[in-house]
Each structure stands twice: as structure tokens, then as C-alpha cells.
Structure 1
Amino acid sequence: MENLTVYLAEFVGTAILILLGGGVVAGVSLARSKALAGGWIVVTLGWGMAVAMAVYVVGTTSGAHINPAVTLGLASIGEFEWALVPGYLIAQLLGAFVGACLVYLAYFAHWKHTDDPDAKLGVFSTSPGVRNPVANLTTEVIGTAMLVLGILGIGANEGSVTRGDADLSSFFAHGLAPLLVGLLVLAIGLSLGGPTGYAINPARDLGPRIAHALLPIPNKGPSDWGYAWIPVVGPIVGGVIGAWIWTLTGFGV
């Protein structure tokens, strides 16, 4: 039952991530939305806060990986049990799919008013500004390595926050750290998100892309499966690299 609880938390956390993150993209992209043309700053801020809210909700239950790249990166350096990895990955993918379906429902009246199929696909999945598989893969690797490295760095500070005789580590871990992770995602989006739309999360791209393929969206166009492997492979490789940079440098010792 304990395992089921953490899997449920990963499912719910990832669904929240996609509901709020995909929701902000829908808001700035779909016709007749009051947030239409809000721009990249709005999108990156929305994704950053989506991550923070998901971590606040499920962080104390499952650790709020909400990202297969984080799960695999931590497992690769012994910071997470391999036995739990399959359940986490399945829960994350399903949560991302459900979150995307909720975005579809929230903006149900807007799909038929939006003519651009690329704008519709962009609500669900990422795509590159310049289609170059090597460059696009490299961008996703770099961005996700920074994500996992940053998460490990934030977590390493939990036990060293004090004020006088007061131990503030719990406040840092549960009150401040989720917001810092959200700001980390915001920073990655602002600095490294331009080339590919910064998936930095295989479930974030794959689950919603499957939803795009299955949902009855008017005049939606293809789901661009030819590109779909990059936001899966790149983040997985980058997550493992980021985790091993942390370990091999000895920063967490």
C-alpha cells in the first residue's frame, strides 16, 4: 500500500504539472483566450509555478520527481531505489496524459476557433525553432542536466539552514525548496528554452503528445512523431549526466 501511495502522488503531481503548464501554453496560443499572445515570459513563468505547485502538493509523499529524467538520474547514483523506478515512470506518464486531457477540457470551446494546427500541437508537446536533431538533442541534454544538478544542489542545503539555535531545515525543505525548484525551471526556460521549448521531462512531452493524437481536436494536424524521440532521449541522458556531475564533483559530500 505504501508503494501505491507514492505512485498515486507521482500521478497526481505530474497531472498538476501538465494541467498548469500545458494550460499556460493553451492560454497564450488558442484563439479567443484572454491570455492570447502573452509571450515567452508568461509561458516560462507558468511552467515554473506549475512545477512548484506540483512539488508542494506531493513532495512530502513521493519526493515529487514528476519527471522520469529525475527518477532515472537519482537511481543511477544510488539516491533512489531501482525497484520503485518502473512504478514511478508509469505513474508519471499516465499523470501527464491525464493532465493534458484536463487542459483539453478546460479550453474545450477554443479549439474550433484556432486555425493553426501547430498552435494546437504546441499546447501538448514541444517542437524546435530550428529542426536539427543533433542540436535539438544537445539542448535537451544540457537543460535537463542543469535541472537535475540544480535539484540536487537545492536539496543539499536542507540540513544547513539555521538561525541562531533554531533549525530551519524543515522550513527550507517543505516551505522554500519547492519554490526554488520552480524558479530553477523558470531560469532554464528563460535561458535554454528557446531552441526546443525545453521539454526537460520525457513524460511532459510524451504523455500529452499521445493525448493530442487520441483526443478529438478539430483540425489538429499530425502529432509530429518524427521529433518525439528527442524530448524523451535527451532528458533521460541529461538527467543521468546531471546526477553524475553532482556525484563525481563531490559537491554533495
Structure 2
Amino acid sequence: MSDNNMQRLHTNDLELGATEAIQKHYERHVVSTKPVSQRKLDFERARPRWLREMVAEATGVFFYVYPGIAATAGFMLNKQDAAFGSLFQIGFAFAFGIAFAIITCASTSGGHFNPAMTICFATWQGFPWKKVPYYIFAQIFGSFMAGLLVYGQYHEQIAAFAAATKAAGEGTVFNGGPASIFCSFPGPTQTNLGYLFFIEFFVDSYIGFVLWACLDPANPFIAPAAAPWAIGLVYALMVWGFADITISTNLARDLGTRIVAAIFFGGEAFSYHNYSWIAILVNVPATLFATAYYELLVRDSLQKIGKGAAFHEDGEEGLNLHLVKSNISRQSPMSPNMQKVFSLGSNGSTLNSGPKMETGFSLAAETNSN
């Protein structure tokens, strides 16, 4: 070991890189990062915010869909070899993909990654409706690119699989066929669309409710660091429970990859058993139902104000009036959150200060971390 390295060991410094992320957990010095140039700041300032948000949403959906359908491809193309995967592996691939999508991209766009969630944020949380169309376009585009890349990477194996299914007289578009690597199709005996609608609606409602609870800043049982994994896990649970019946769970995830399936396997990807509208559209009303259930029957907005995630529409006077009408006073036994609410109502709120964060996962994580 050189003298320079020995000298560095005695300084207790950490090298720049992954170790920088853990500096707050250890009392050590970190090597200074390269200074930010004015040129870089000018470039980032000139970069449109809408472009950053679209790129983040597209990238996040890509990170979610890409490992999921890649695991599906590995499993379906090697059914005779258990070493290449199972439904259990596919569920985890989607779960980890969702977690990594949130970790990498949510701080920029809010981390919607699902058109239904974007619509719910606009409905319940004040997300600008003017942003909804380009968020949804970016999400579908990210899914499309994931499907396109997986097809390119598995092209030889998929082509051989398609040739085999055609030779067997099965075609390419059916549950378990080449096209089902990319999007969902019902089984040959699953012709009851009402039944398939019910399955999809309940599965998506379950996911939407758990996701909305994870993003509730007043929820004391979910920490920001755990939320991505909890959200990913609920998707995996539904894959494990209902994939054999056929589920989609996400408009963007299904539509983007279904377009890829239609490009390479024909328009039957949309017309097969008249099912595609269920996979594409049911996710939206189901998630709206789940979030409405949470907002109308479960949400505690006063606790949300206490966490600093919201403010009264009439400001300090409105909050004070509500506290008086609710018989909340300094003498009343209060939880720490309620004490914070009383303090905000009495001394003035600063909830609307600080840098703006987009409605979504990042805002909830920021609030929960305070």
C-alpha cells in the first residue's frame, strides 16, 4: 500500500461515489465534489421543466416495465427449464422495477408512472390538469420503449417461439403465446368479459388503495425509505394472486407494450376476444374508486395539516376557527401531530414556503421525512 493511501486511511475520508450517499449516517469527512459551473447552472435553468417531467415519467415507467416483461420473456421462452424463472420471479421483477422507478425518477416528476394515478392526483391533490395529457403520453411512451427493447433483445428466441406456435396452428396472439410476453390476454375459455372486468377492477382498486395509503403523509406506519418497496410489493402480490386469470394493473404498462405486440404480431393484439379495452381502461375507474374510498372514508386531513403537507383553504383564520369548533385547546390532551396543528393555527403557517415539489410520491416522502 502506498504512502498516499496510508495517509488517506488516517484522514477517515470517504471516496466520492456511492459512499457519499451514506455520509449522514457516519461521522466522517467526504471528499469535496467537483464545483458546479455557471455553465451547468445556466443549462439546467434553460431546460424546460415539462421536458424534465416527461423524461422522468417515461424513464420511470421504462424501469418498471422493462424488468417485468424481460422476466416474463425468460419464463415463457424457457418453460421446460425451471432455472429460467417462474411466476414468483416475474412478480418480484415488477416489484423491484417499480421500487427502482420511484427511487430514480420520483424526485423529478412526482413519481406517478400510471395514468390512473396522474388522474387521481389531479382529482384529489391539486395536480394541474394541463399536465395530465403529457404525463400520460410520457408514461405510455416509456412502456412502448421497454417493450421495443425487450423484443429486440429476445428477437431470435421470440421468432423461434412464434414459428413453433404457428406451426402448431395456435397463431401468435393468445394467453401463453409470443404476444403475451408483452401484454395480457385472457385464456381460451375466459370469454365472460364481465368476469374479467370484475377481476381487473378489484385488483386495481386494491393496488390503488394501498398505494394511496403509502402516500398519505399522515400515515405513521410507512417511512419514505420503505414506501417504494411497499408499493412494489403490492403489485407483486396481485401478480402472484391473479396472473393466471389475466390482469393488467396499469393503462400505460399495457397500452405501450400492446402497441409493440400489434406491430410485430398484428392487430389481433387489440381485437383478441374483445378484451383489450378491459386491460387498458379499467385501471382508471378502479383507481379513482379506491382513492375516493380513501379520501372520503379514511383520510384525516387535520393530521395531514399537522405534518405540514397541506394548509387550510382559508389560511390561519380558517384553521383557528376549525380548532375552536372542534373544541381543541392547549389544555386538551393532544398527539404530537395535533400539537403541531395547534401551533400552526396559533402562530401562523409556513406550509406554503420552500421549493415546490410536484404532487406525487416525492411530496409525500418529503413530508414524511420531516
TM-score, scaled relative to structure 2: 0.60
Partner residue of 2:294? 246
Deviating 4+ runs (over 4 angstroms): 31-37
- Cα-to-partner distance string for 1:178-228 (whole Å, 9 max, x where unaligned): 1111111112222343321x211011111111111113x6xx793142321
Partner residue of 1:177? 227
Cα 1:79–1:36 shift into 2, 3 Å: farther
Provide the C-alpha distance between the structure 2 equivalents of 1:85 and 1:37, rounded to a whole number of angstroms.
Answer: 39
Report whether the alignment pairs 1:208 with 2:257.
yes
Provide the C-alpha distance between the structure 2 equivalents of 1:221 and 1:92, rounded to a whole number of angstroms.
Answer: 22
Provide the C-alpha distance between the structure 1 equivalents of 2:148 and 2:82, rounded to a whole number of angstroms.
Answer: 20
Matches within 5 A, 1:16-27: 16-27=63-74
Q: Aligned letter for 1:210?
A: I
Provide the C-alpha distance between the structure 1 equivalents of 2:53 and 2:219, rounded to a whole number of angstroms.
Answer: 23
Post-superposition shift, 1:99?
A: 0.6
TM-score, scaled relative to structure 1: 0.85
Provide the C-alpha distance between the structure 2 equivalents of 1:250 and 1:92, rounded to a whole number of angstroms.
Answer: 29
Provide the C-alpha distance between the structure 1 equivalents of 2:295 and 2:68, rounded to a whole number of angstroms.
Answer: 30
- Where 1:200 maps in the other structure, the secondary structure is coil
Greater RCO (CA < 8 Å, at least 6 residues apart): 1
Structure possessing the higher radius of gyration over alpha carbons: 2
Identity of aligned residues (%): 24
Match of 2:241 among 185, 191, 194: 191
> Contact 1:10/1:58 (CA < 8 Å) preserved in 2?
yes
- Where 1:186 maps in the other structure, the secondary structure is helix
Report whether the alignment pairs 1:131 with 2:191.
yes
| Superposed CA RMSD | 2.3
Provide the C-alpha distance between the structure 2 equivalents of 1:34 and 1:52, rounded to a whole number of angstroms.
Answer: 28
- Where 2:215 maps in the other structure, the secondary structure is helix
Provide the C-alpha distance between the structure 2 equivalents of 1:141 and 1:32, rounded to a whole number of angstroms.
Answer: 30
Cα 1:76–1:147 shift into 2, 3 Å: same
Q: Aligned letter for 1:140?
A: E
Q: Aligned letter for 2:53?
A: V
Provide the C-alpha distance between the structure 1 equivalents of 2:203 and 2:219, rounded to a whole number of angstroms.
Answer: 27
Consecutive unaligned residues of structure 2, counting only runs of 5 or more, are 1-47, 166-171, 302-370
Consecutive unaligned residues of structure 1, counting only runs of 5 or more, are 162-168
Cα 1:185–1:32 shift into 2, 3 Å: closer
> Contact 2:208/2:291 (CA < 8 Å) preserved in 1?
yes
> Contact 1:25/1:123 (CA < 8 Å) preserved in 2?
yes
Aligned residues: 239
Cα 1:157–1:11 shift into 2, 3 Å: same
Post-superposition shift, 1:34?
A: 6.5
Partner residue of 1:237? 285
Matches within 5 A, 1:33-182: 38-114=85-161, 115-116=164-165, 117=172, 118=174, 119-129=177-187, 130-156=190-216, 160=220, 172-173=223-224, 175-182=225-232
